[in-house]
Structure 1
């Protein structure tokens, strides 16, 4: 199953209604693939389905909360019944809370972990169960530089992303042990201009923002497609900032602690006060509340790079 000879037909994308998942789904549609779209928000899902079809693919949108393993299994059954065998599963869905650790409630912490970490476990389990009998397939975990380096105001998200790293390495070794043809790979992302900064629960005084340099979701999506094409690589890094963060933390973690203690609070907030009635997607999807489809891009287009290094 070396990269170029393996042409997937059916690809599943979780978190497909916005951000990286949305951009990835659109690019997969451009290749003519059949793309199953999993997310909670119906408005974003139907927008994503239109994107995929307009690009030349076939779309199957299924409203799913990835934290619910039974719901994920049911979605996988439906995908195989309607589109055929799943060739590739891409885990993207997440949620977060922007706040100091003391300001995050236990139920909120659990919810972030259930979506951001257990959602990947549930998706991976559903994919593997169906790929194993055929002994082929690719599972892509969309990771983050924050899975290697924690930053302030994001303890719940950083903890969940770190968990994905350990899970990925352990599972990869199990599959290698049995000489499986199923490939698991992870794509580590930089700061990306996604709608999360408009819909993630925030208790910060100012509006939340990604820490520059900020990349457009299409750059992240190109990293995902590269991982699908060459899944034998254990990991890919998108953006030089990702490489810099991961490497710096390996050699000078204490220095980075002090740097982030000094800069991490201000660099994640704009100079605008946070909108007190900003919606939050932690428990319910926010798209469609006013008929709105957030799409792939967040509010930082003018500050985001449309190109970036992919390692």
Structure 2
């Protein structure tokens, strides 16, 4: 890798993507930022430059492969060979499955799943001939465990998981120097809860424990540096949920049916004027820059023990810490 690596981040205008772009900028990387909204892109590009990196903002809808491929070609021409590609871009609908229209479900799938496929294809077109490069898929606990009110998003994350595993096996069979890895995220304090299309009666919220976007960015950078591991699990909720789903999926189904709808909504009514970024960016001509953080700074943790444990003591230690944290949370809820 060069002294100033070239990094592509999709969904870079807000949330995790914005934090990831900023973190790579702090490493003095050349960062290509892909997203639809011009205002968020401009602010993200300034963030990268302020941190010491070089930025190239590109207005791209990842649901359109031709746009992604053209953007990747421009990155190579203007910044140099792509070293790392991070897929983050997504959209979703907060609603019961019966309240989601077919065209909305298709759109979520095209952005949140096929967007990752398109990004990976474009990256591999440049990386494979050089036999060098890393692709990081930003996943979620929901890649393994579906929850109510997020059927479209859960379907996309499950799909990414399967597609990425298949690709990883193919690259290993080819003895390729290109690496792919996936980072499974917990609940993160991002603007998605204010700009995702919602048909919920109350304001959407992440299910605690909640982490700041910088925690997610730290995990992505670590995964990019150590891509030989197939995936990284971030946060007590992620590891605990995955283990619970593996050990007692029926019990978890019952628990989520009982608690999952209420826990994803605050007590406040859903704003009547809340933007929806499904078809158009929320930071478009009539919108504003949303930044990396959402509305839950007072409840979001700035670090995670599980990521530290996975770095220093492996998955078993991370799982042990997660189980302890999960058990403590269950005990507190039982006592409440």
Does the CA contact (< 8 Å) of 1:195 and 1:294 recur in 2?
A: yes
Cα distance, 1:100 vs structure 2? 0.3
CA distance in 2, matches of 1:291, 1:253: 41
2:208 maps to 1:206: no
Q: 1:18 aligns with which of 14, 24, 35?
A: 14
Residues in 1 aligned to 2:202 and 2:113: alpha-carbon distance in whole angstroms? 27
Report if aligned partners of 1:37, 1:61 keep a CA contact under 8 Å in 2: yes
- Kept in 2, the 8 Å contact 1:8–1:88? The answer is no
- Deviation at 1:14? 0.2
2: distance between equivalents of 1:10 and 1:16?
15
Mapped pair 1:70 → 2:66 = yes
Matches within 5 A, 1:213-232: 213-232=209-228
* Alignment length (residue pairs): 307
Structure 1 unaligned residues grouped into runs of 5+ = none
Instruction: Tell me the CA shift for residue 84 of structure 1.
Output: 0.5
1:100 aligns with 2:93: no
Superposition TM-score, scaled by structure 2 size: 0.90
Q: Residue 184 of structure 2 contacts residue 233 of structure 2 at CA under 8 Å; is this kept in 1? A: yes
CA 1:276–1:187 in structure 2 vs 1: closer, same or farther (change >3 Å)? same
Secondary structure of residue in 1 paired with 2:129: coil
- Partners of 2:4 and 2:28 within 8 A in 1: no
2:45 alignment partner in structure 1: 49
How far did residue 247 of structure 1 move? 1.0
Secondary structure in 1 aligned to 2:8?
strand
Is 1:65–1:72's contact at 8 Å kept on the other side of the alignment?
yes
Q: Could you give the per-residue CA deviations for residues 14-56 of structure 1, whole angstroms, max 9, x where no partner exists?
A: 0000000000000000000000000000000000000000000
Distance 1:216 1:89 in 2: 22
Counterpart for residue 192 of structure 2: 196
- With over 3 angstroms needed to count, the CA separation of the structure-2 counterparts of 1:278 and 1:240, relative to structure 1, is same
TM-score (norm 1): 0.97
Contact 1:97–1:154, Cα closer than 8 Å, also in 2: yes
1:289 CA displacement: 4.6
Distance in 2 separating the partners of 1:72 and 1:269: 34
State the match for 1:236 in structure 2. Answer: 232
Q: Could you say which residue in structure 2 is the equivalent of 1:159? A: 155
Query: CA separation in 2, counterparts of 1:183 and 1:274?
Result: 42
Cα offset for 1:114? 0.4
What is the alpha-carbon distance in structure 2 between the residues aligned to residue 228 and residue 103 of structure 1? 38
C-alpha RMSD of matched pairs (Å):
1.1
CA distance in structure 1 between the partners assigned to 2:104 and 2:4 by the alignment: 37
**CA deviations over 1:56-80 (Å, ceiling 9, x no partner):** 0000000000000000000001000
Contact kept? 1:36, 1:79, Cα under 8 Å: yes
Question: Per-residue CA shift, 1:265-308, capped at 9, x if unaligned?
Answer: 00000000101221100000011454521000001000100111
Match of 1:129 in 2: 125
CA distance in 1 between counterparts of 2:2 and 2:266 reads 45
